[in-house]
Amino acid sequence: LGALRWHFLLQSLEDLQKNLCQLGSCLLVIQGEYERVLRDHIQKWNITQVTLDAEMEPFYKEMEANIRRLGEELGFEVLSLVGHSLYDTKRILDLNGGTPPLTYKRFLHILSLLGDPEVPVRNLTAEDFQRCRPPDPGLAECYRVPLPVDLEIPLESLSPWRGGETEGLQRLEQHLTDQGWVTSFTKPRTIPNSLLPSTTGLSPYFSTGCLSVRTFFYRLSNIYAQAKHHSLPPVSLQGQLLWREFFYTVASATPNFTKMAGNPICLQINWYEDAERLHKWKTAQTGFPWIDAIMTQLRQEGWIHHLARHAVACFLTRGDLWISWEEGMKVFEELLLDADYSINAGNWMWLSASAFFHQYTRIFCPVRFGKRTDPEGQYIRKYLPVLKNFPSKYIYEPWTASE
């Protein structure tokens, strides 16, 4: 977990704490290993119910099973609720016969049988907390949201993206006001090297739980219902939510989803092991300005456009360096604000032609792809200031310029 992700997470918790206080409630953050924390506090605070998201990742599935066993031992109820995804992935898998393989086309057919996802739970109000005793103010201070300095996180690592539900809702409203953009959105036509996000930029807020994907889904449905024409899955905005759901569904039923070895859906490829080239890719020193500009933005801001992700992923794997997708996945997990177990691994397998997509000769050119949408190289000039005065003719290929 990189410093930018830590800052985003702590900002999100601070925002949650502030919003809960306005409703007469409070957030208590307890640090420690979860089983010991529960054992210590169940009797001390007379806890009768523990709730959590229905989990899909192996680590959290094991955690949920352990908490259920603990509940039987210590006498508290465990509620596991589907909240982070649109659908219950188990229901989708049951309709598919239990396990992958699952194509995207088959996945959409199953969703058509299920109908629309459940309507999101309404926002909580002050009335919801009237029966809850406000916690002892001393308790709230004792279990406050930790500060970056408490966790020894460098303060200079601040992204322009701020965490929290308040910021996420503002971004959501800002994008939904332009209904023409919403209805005509098609994923391949967005610009990978625009200086401002040409997509919604909401993914960090979904992955951290600051925003509900169901809220976004139904807000989009309302806008689509009022339009004569609108784009459709897989390229529409709702289609992007369904891709997220697709990766969650496959990941939840695939052993070793984040590894090549022992992963039943992944091609076993004899990748190169080259620590020096991997380091140069990771630290924006490949010598291809567009690739290095993308990796610089990733390190500085924690977010890059999805097509930019495609370009650097292709470059690392089947396009240029032939280094394993697992190495790239680890870098994205550390640096991306929206890093996500299922989506990160799924996209890396896709972009390396290891799973889902096997046309390995379809390459994102590290020169022409960026030049097509930004011929003057403004994106490169911003993130690689060493080239800010370089002639546009050569900025994507500086090795072709005279000395």
The reply to whether 244 sits in an annotated binding site is yes
The reply to whether 126 sits in an annotated binding site is no
The reply to whether 297 sits in an annotated binding site is no
The reply to whether 243 sits in an annotated binding site is yes
* Phi-psi map region of 353: left, alpha, beta (phi>0 left; psi -120 to 50 alpha): left
- State the amino acid at position 323 in one-letter form: I
Residues 274/321, Cβ–Cβ less than 8 Å: yes
The reply to whether 338 sits in an annotated binding site is yes
Residues 79/242, Cβ–Cβ less than 8 Å: no
The length of the chain is: 403
The reply to whether 177 sits in an annotated binding site is no
The reply to whether 247 sits in an annotated binding site is yes
The reply to whether 203 sits in an annotated binding site is yes
* Phi-psi map region of 390: left, alpha, beta (phi>0 left; psi -120 to 50 alpha): beta
The reply to whether 287 sits in an annotated binding site is no
The reply to whether 340 sits in an annotated binding site is yes
The reply to whether 202 sits in an annotated binding site is yes
The backbone torsions φ and ψ at residue 377, rounded to the nearest 5 degrees and listed phi first, read: 70, 30
The reply to whether 11 sits in an annotated binding site is no
Q: What angle do CA 167, 171, 177 make, to 5 degrees?
A: 145
The reply to whether 216 sits in an annotated binding site is no
The reply to whether 125 sits in an annotated binding site is no
The binding site consists of 199-203, 240-247, 338-340
The binding site for FAD consists of 199-203, 240-247, 338-340
